[in-house]
Structure 1
Amino acid sequence: MEKRTQEQNAQKRVVAVQEKKGLGISEILLIGILLAAGAVLKFFVGSVINFGMKPNFIIAMYCLVMLLIRPKVYEAAIIGLLAGAICQFFPGQPYINIASELVGAVAMVLLMKIPMKIGKFSLAPVVCTFLATLVSGFAFIGIMYLMYYTGADITPTPLAAFMAIIFGTATINAVIVQVLFPPLKLAFRRK
């Protein structure tokens, strides 16, 4: 009997680790807070900077949240749809943002899979955000012009104005995310 107890004690113990499924409450709250911050920035800063199209800071916020929580592709798609739905509360072409933010969010999460470290410094925040903003912006232009040429009752903004806004917004978003990512990453990891 004593030998059997020693054998049982000597057996390797296995700790079962349960795989995380879906986003937790803290991630969902972070998504809501950052998308709301993007909406506030879009409203107030967009009122000052307006060339027929307002810069979209909601993109910067969903890029930032994705860097922080590292969602799966389908979760990123949902975040993109939420961001597009929030954009519907602002003046502009209706419904186009839903598709363009979906494409931008999926692009962001896929771009994050590419290694972008130089030593200990990661270029992912600035590079991924810049490229995801471009993808979202070009998707917006493509959908808008497609709708225009198929007879939809919309007036497209001249392409040169779009290019300035898209590249300007991509640059601003990349800077915002690069500046905010390190302190938010530190705060988010401390929990």
Structure 2
Amino acid sequence: MMSNQSTASQVVVGKMSRSKEIAVIAFLIAIGAVLRMFSPAILGITPNFIIAMYCLAILLLRPAIGPALGIGIVAGAVSMIFSKSPIPYLNLATEPTGALVCALLAAYLPEFSLKNYSFKPCLATFVGTLISGGLYVVLNFHLALHLPVTAMKAAFIGVVIPVALINAVIAQALYVPVKKFLFR
């Protein structure tokens, strides 16, 4: 009996309860929403902190595909509230897509590290933001507003890429301290 209890205790070490995982996800998305709401535009670009935070949550918790999609749906709903876009409901398609890509990269991307310092948060967040933002640009500019391809390219280069770089830096900078805090 004693050995069964010690084995069970070892399995639980380093693993969060489901309620704590949900709280972490909610907390990070809420932080992203507050930062998005109050952050000023920098050269006409407002960073999307919600994407950075849901990518951080996915990278820390490594959910399966279904829960990652759920994180994206929640992030999309929250993004709708704080969107500065003319068509905010597009976030319900773009954020789950970005979350799905981030989850797949978190699960299958090999570790890119330098002396035990992983750069996976930077890469997964960058690509997740590019996919989410790129899809948003296509849906918004091409399908909804019927703008030319040159306008889509300009928006992708001038907005999506800089936001992806900002999000990548944020996720990379926060990953280790948040991980240490959560799994202490």
Q: TM-score range by the shorter chain?
A: 0.7 to 0.9
C-alpha RMSD of the superposition: 2.7
Within the alignment, does 1:169 sit opposite 2:163 as a pair? yes
**Cα displacement string for residues 132-171 of structure 1 (whole angstroms, at most 9, x for unaligned residues):** 100101111121122334xxxx9x9933134211111111
- For 1:5, the equivalent position in structure 2 comes to none
**Deviation at residue 74 of structure 1 after TM alignment:** 0.6
- For 1:88, the equivalent position in structure 2 comes to 80
**Deviation at residue 95 of structure 1 after TM alignment:** 0.9
Cα distance change of structure 1 residues 32 and 128 upon mapping to structure 2, 3 Å threshold: same
Within the alignment, does 1:108 sit opposite 2:102 as a pair? yes
Match among 123, 129, 138 for residue 127 of structure 1: 123
- For 2:33, the equivalent position in structure 1 comes to 39
Contact 2:129 2:167 in 1 (8 A): yes
- For 1:6, the equivalent position in structure 2 comes to none
- For 1:148, the equivalent position in structure 2 comes to 145
- For 1:185, the equivalent position in structure 2 comes to 179
- For 1:3, the equivalent position in structure 2 comes to none
Normalized against structure 1, the TM-score is what?
Answer: 0.79
Larger radius of gyration: 1
Aligned-partner SS, 1:158: helix
| Bigger helix fraction | 2
- For 2:42, the equivalent position in structure 1 comes to 49
Misfit runs of 4+, over 4 Å: 13-17
> How many residues align structurally?
171
**Deviation at residue 14 of structure 1 after TM alignment:** 6.4
Note the residue ranges of structure 1 that are not aligned, 5 or more in a row.
1-8
Aligned-partner SS, 2:88: coil
Aligned-partner SS, 2:183: helix
- Give me the whole-angstrom Cα distance separating, in 1, the residues matched to 2:177 and 2:139: 36
Q: What is the aligned-residue identity percentage? A: 39
Note the residue ranges of structure 2 that are not aligned, 5 or more in a row.
none
- Give me the whole-angstrom Cα distance separating, in 1, the residues matched to 2:67 and 2:179: 19
- Give me the whole-angstrom Cα distance separating, in 2, the residues matched to 1:122 and 1:169: 21
